[in-house]
């Protein structure tokens, strides 16, 4: 909860209720956690605010790119310092809430790209770790195998950017390997049933006599998918059909959805205004000039294009002659 320093947060309930086997880290640290098979070391790296990493003096006179580079170095130093303190005889995991470059993003890409500091895979894939468990990006994926660097992704879809993403969790086994004297790591993704998102795209033609019936038919073809799903109905239609859609009928056919929204993309014909003149009494060069003026094109650019246009028309006339 990066903007809630000093305030109550949702994770505090785990400490308050003393929930067994749940550990909450609000700062970088090393946690030695006892298990039925022995102790495991967890290096925690929660999401850290810039103000927690850098002082004003650190960022004075730095541009955005340089600030992010400084943040990347600071986070890398934090990971490296903790890794050096680990007991090599015990299995170790890095659990980090960070953005790692090269990861395929889901719905959060638009709000994140260009606005966050990111780490290189080599910053987190350090030899001291048997497994690197990443959070922040919602799409599950494996970035590296040695050691495994894995985003488990979110357990639920949060918007239509994740409509086709499979959701689930990883089970990770870390075992001694007698043949090498090292540890062997295996991990497997387990899908879970999550709320479904469904997009229905419909394009209506200008000559459609009953556009509502056309839409109802398209929705009915996906009736089973609509039931209990979060549905987005996108309809593209010419402006002359805008008033012919019966909203009550559309809402009724979507009533089995968990939630739905209808978005209309009205296609309106754009005409170039040429005063009182018609297409029949204006020459191609005059039309070109009117178009360039409507685009507020610089006069010198207009002059060049008119010269080329005139040459093309002359070539066309000679070819037809």
- Domain enclosing residue 210, as ranges: 197-267
DSSP string, 234-251: EEEEEGGGGGG--HHHHH
Give the residue from 175, 191, 207 where a domain finishes: 191
**Sequence-ordered list of residues with C-beta below 8 angstroms from that of 146, at least 6 positions apart, any chain:** 125
Q: In terms of domains, do 165 and 213 share one?
A: no
Q: What total number of domains does the chain contain?
A: 3
Q: What is the pLDDT of residue 127?
A: 94
pLDDT digits (tens, 9 = 90+) for 24-46: 898 899 999 999 999 999 999 99
Residue 21, classified by CB atoms within 10 Å of its CB into exposed (0-12), middle (13-18) or buried (19+), is exposed
39 and 152: one domain? yes
Q: In this predicted model, what pLDDT tens digit does every residue of 134-143 receive, in sequence order? A: 999 999 999 9
**Domain CATH code at residue 109:** 3.60.21.10
Per-residue pLDDT for 111 more than 60?
Answer: no
Please indicate, yes or no, whether residues 172 and 209 belong to a single structural domain of this protein: no
- Residue 272 pLDDT more than 60? no
Element (H, E) at 265: strand 259-267
Mean pLDDT of the chain: 87
Q: What is the mean pLDDT of residues 186-207?
A: 95
Q: Are 258 and 224 in contact (CB under 8 A)?
A: no
3-state secondary structure (DSSP) of residue 84: helix
User: Residue 11 and residue 136: Cα distance in Å, rounded?
Assistant: 16
Task: Tell me: do 33 and 150 sit in the same domain.
Answer: yes
Beta strands 230-238 and 197-203 are parallel
Which residues are CB-neighbours of 60 under 8 A, at least 6 positions away?
Answer: none
Q: Which two tokens stand for residue 159?
A: 């918007």
pTM value is 0.74
- DSSP-assigned beta bridge partners for residue 254: none
- Give the range among 45-54, 127-136, 232-241 with minimum mean pLDDT: 45-54
């Amino acid at each position: 909860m990066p903007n809630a320093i000093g305030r109550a947060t949702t994770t505090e309930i785990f400490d308050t209720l003393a929930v067994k086997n749940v550990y909450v880290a609000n700062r970088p640290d090393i946690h030695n956690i006892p298990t039925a098979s022995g102790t495991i070391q967890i290096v925690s790296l929660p999401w850290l605010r810039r103000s927690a990493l850098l002082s004003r003096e650190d960022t004075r006179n730095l541009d955005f790119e340089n600030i992010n580079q400084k943040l990347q170095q600071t986070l890398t130093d934090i990971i490296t310092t903790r890794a050096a303190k680990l007991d090599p005889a015990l299995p170790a995991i890095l659990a980090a809430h960070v953005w790692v470059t090269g990861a395929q993003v889901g719905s959060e890409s638009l709000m994140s790209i260009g606005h966050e500091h990111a780490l290189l895979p080599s910053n987190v894939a350090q030899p001291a770790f048997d497994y690197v468990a990443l959070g922040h990006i919602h799409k599950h994926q494996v970035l590296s195998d040695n050691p495994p660097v894995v985003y488990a992704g979110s357990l639920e879809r949060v918007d239509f950017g994740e409509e086709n993403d499979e959701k689930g969790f990883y089970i990770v086994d870390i075992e001694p390997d007698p043949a090498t004297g090292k540890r062997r790591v295996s991990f497997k993704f387990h899908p879970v049933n999550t709320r479904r998102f469904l997009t229905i795209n419909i394009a209506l033609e200008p000559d459609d006599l009953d556009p509502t019936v056309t839409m109802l038919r398209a929705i009915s073809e996906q009736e089973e998918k609509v039931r209990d799903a979060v549905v987005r109905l996108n309809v593209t239609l010419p402006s002359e059909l805008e008033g012919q859609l019966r909203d009550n009928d559309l809402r009724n056919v979507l009533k089995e959805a968990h939630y739905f929204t209808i978005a209309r993309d009205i296609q309106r014909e754009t005409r170039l205004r040429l005063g009182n003149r018609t297409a029949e009494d204006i020459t191609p060069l005059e039309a070109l000039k009117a178009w360039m003026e409507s685009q507020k094109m610089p006069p010198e650019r207009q002059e060049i294009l008119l010269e080329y246009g005139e040459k093309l028309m002359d070539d066309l006339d000679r070819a037809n002659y």
